[in-house]
Amino acid sequence: MRKPIIAGNWKLNKNPKETAEFVAGIKGKLADATKVEAVIGAPAVDLQTLIDAAKGTDLKVASENNYFEDAGAFTGETSPKVLAEMGVNYGIIGHSERREYFHETDEDINKKAHALFKNGVTPIICCGETLETRKAGKVDEWVSGQIKAALKGLSAEQVASAVIAYEPIWAIGTGETATPEQAQEVCHLIRETVAGLYDQTTAENVRIQYGGSMKPANVKELMAQPDIDGGLVGGASLQPESFLELVHYED
């Protein structure tokens, strides 16, 4: 059985003080870690505070981005090696906002995945289509192409341990949400793509999140789908109360 994983993605929100206050608000209240894995992805400037505050809890920590080199003359970038040394558990890569605003390519995302694995950090690899792509009937071609490019050169063992987040771009921060059936259809496509690239065992082990406006009001419906193993959550992860509702969706 794949363990559900609810991961907050704070984007460019919260300072270190607010980060510590958030963790104080969820301490002792997280879901049973044997049932649901709780993760917060925070801006790089908040990561050390988050790691320190999360000590002694079951909360896991994710970076929101990383470079694909460990060190060098890359001003302003974040080293995956240093993230690992700090104690970061996961690295979010390929988010649609990184692709759109910072012009990240599929090749960049693949290189970042390799860099994270090399340093013992588990990637959360994002994929998803625009409304135009969906209307053109090219969702399958687009998403499977992103998956094939992102996983290039990774071993079956690495992919089985990874997390893939399906985020329909038209449903991010818009209040729009894919129906459970739409989300399930694409998450199933992702699993089938992994099976085609590797094998059925690898596909059955990789965890797939839904990442488009998941919130307490729709989490149960989405999580009831057979190929949805969690959520990559934006706005609903910013407040302790709503984040706790998400990780306690089974209660």
Q: Which domains does the chain have, with CATH numbers?
A: 5-248 (3.20.20.70)
Q: Is the pLDDT of residue 170 over 90?
A: no
Residue by residue, DSSP assigns 189-201 as HHHHHHHHHS-HH
The distance of Cα 112 from the centroid of its chain, to the nearest Å, equals: 14
Q: What is the DSSP letter of 36?
A: -
Binding residues: 9-11, 173, 213, 234-235
**Do the bridges between strand 230-233 and strand 122-127 make them parallel or antiparallel, or are there none, so unpaired?**
unpaired
- The answer to whether 86 and 50 have CB atoms below 8 angstroms apart is no
- Summarize pLDDT for 222-240 with one digit per residue, the tens: 999 999 999 999 999 999 9
Tell me the pLDDT band of 177, cut-offs 50, 70 and 90.
confident
- Summarize pLDDT for 195-223 with one digit per residue, the tens: 999 999 999 999 999 998 899 999 999 99
Mean of pLDDT values over 53-66: 97
- How far is it, in rounded angstroms, from Cα 201 to Cα 251? 29
- The answer to whether 8 and 39 have CB atoms below 8 angstroms apart is yes
Q: Is the pLDDT of residue 174 over 80?
A: no
Q: Is the pLDDT of residue 172 over 80?
A: no
Mapping DSSP to helix (H, G, I), strand (E, B) and coil, where does residue 209 land? strand
Tell me the pLDDT band of 58, cut-offs 50, 70 and 90.
very high
Query: Which distant-in-sequence residues (6+ apart) come within 8 Å of 106 by Cβ?
Result: 145, 146, 149, 150
Mapping DSSP to helix (H, G, I), strand (E, B) and coil, where does residue 2 land? coil
Q: What are phi and psi of 188, to 5 degrees?
A: -65, -40
- What pLDDT, on the 0 to 100 scale, is given for residue 64? 98
150-176: burial string, b at 16+ Cβ within 10 Å, e else: bbeebebebbbbbbbbbbbbbbbeeee
Query: Which contacts (CB < 8 Å, 24+ apart) does range 51-55 have?
Result: 51/86, 51/87, 51/88, 53/19, 53/20, 53/23, 53/24, 54/23
Mean pLDDT (the chain, rounded): 96
Binding residues for substrate: 9-11, 173, 213, 234-235
- What pLDDT, on the 0 to 100 scale, is given for residue 213? 86
Active site positions, annotated: 95, 167
- Summarize pLDDT for 39-55 with one digit per residue, the tens: 999 999 999 999 999 99
- Summarize pLDDT for 2-37 with one digit per residue, the tens: 999 999 999 999 999 999 999 999 999 998 888 999
Residue type, 33: A
- What pLDDT, on the 0 to 100 scale, is given for residue 178? 85
The span from the first CA to the last CA of the chain, in angstroms, equals 18
Record the pTM: 0.96
59-87: burial string, b at 16+ Cβ within 10 Å, e else: bbbbbbbbbbebeeeeeeebbbbbbbebb
Per-residue tokens: 229: 């193993």
